[in-house]
């Protein structure tokens, strides 16, 4: 099976001690010269057999967390900005058990040029958190994450 997407975005929740968090990452992006909050994500490798495989690997690399359960994934990529490029990303929805010993002290496996901070945000406070953290203009939020947070209001 080939993967019909350029990359995979992972929408991950972490359940720990009775609370539920979204797992986001904060990464410096040179084109915008700012830090930005994103879903963990990565490019599909030529050897990847599925969107699930890519997403599980990327979550582990960028956050150190091991997926407990895959809930759903898209079967092909969705265009990110079709007015400017043909880049596409599939989406993987997963849960992480933060009480599992394997997830107690997560260790990232980053490339030498990556500088990624893991950010846990309580699920019911996502939009409030995003609005507060971006007030001073030092941190931005991807449209994926912000539109996801807004849609949760419905």
100-132 pLDDT per residue, tens: 999 999 999 998 888 899 999 999 999 999 999
pLDDT at 3 over 80: no
Quickly list DSSP for 30-75.
Answer: TTTTEEEEE--EEEPPTT---HHHHHHHHHHHHH-PPPSEEEEE-S
The H or E element spanning position 92 is strand 88-97
Average pLDDT, the chain: 92
11-69 pLDDT per residue, tens: 999 999 999 999 999 999 999 999 999 999 998 888 878 889 999 999 999 999 999 99
Q: Distance between CA atoms of 69 and 96, rounded to whole angstroms?
A: 7
Listed range (95-99, 108-112, 123-127, 143-147) with the worst mean pLDDT: 108-112
What pLDDT score was predicted for residue 2? 57
pTM for the model: 0.92
Domain 7-151 sits in CATH at 3.90.79.10
At residue 150, φ and ψ (nearest 5 deg) are: -65, -40
| 65, 107 Cβ separation under 8 angstroms | no
What pLDDT score was predicted for residue 96? 98
Q: How many CB atoms lie within 10 A of CB 46?
A: 7
């Amino acid at each position: 099976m080939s993967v019909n997407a350029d990359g995979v975005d992972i929408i991950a929740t972490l359940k720990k001690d009775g609370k539920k968090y979204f797992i986001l990452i904060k990464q410096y992006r040179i084109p915008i010269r700012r830090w930005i909050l994103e879903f963990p994500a990565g490019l599909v490798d030529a050897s990847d057999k599925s969107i699930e495989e890519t997403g599980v690997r990327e979550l582990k690399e960028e956050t150190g967390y091991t997926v407990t359960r895959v809930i759903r994934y898209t079967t092909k990529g969705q265009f990110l900005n079709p007015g400017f490029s043909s880049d596409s990303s599939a989406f993987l929805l997963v849960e992480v058990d933060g009480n599992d010993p394997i997830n107690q002290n997560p260790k990232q496996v980053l490339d030498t040029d990556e500088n990624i901070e893991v950010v846990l945000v309580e699920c019911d406070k996502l939009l409030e958190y995003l609005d507060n953290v971006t007030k001073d203009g030092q941190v931005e939020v991807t449209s994926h994450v912000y539109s996801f947070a807004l849609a949760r209001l419905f």
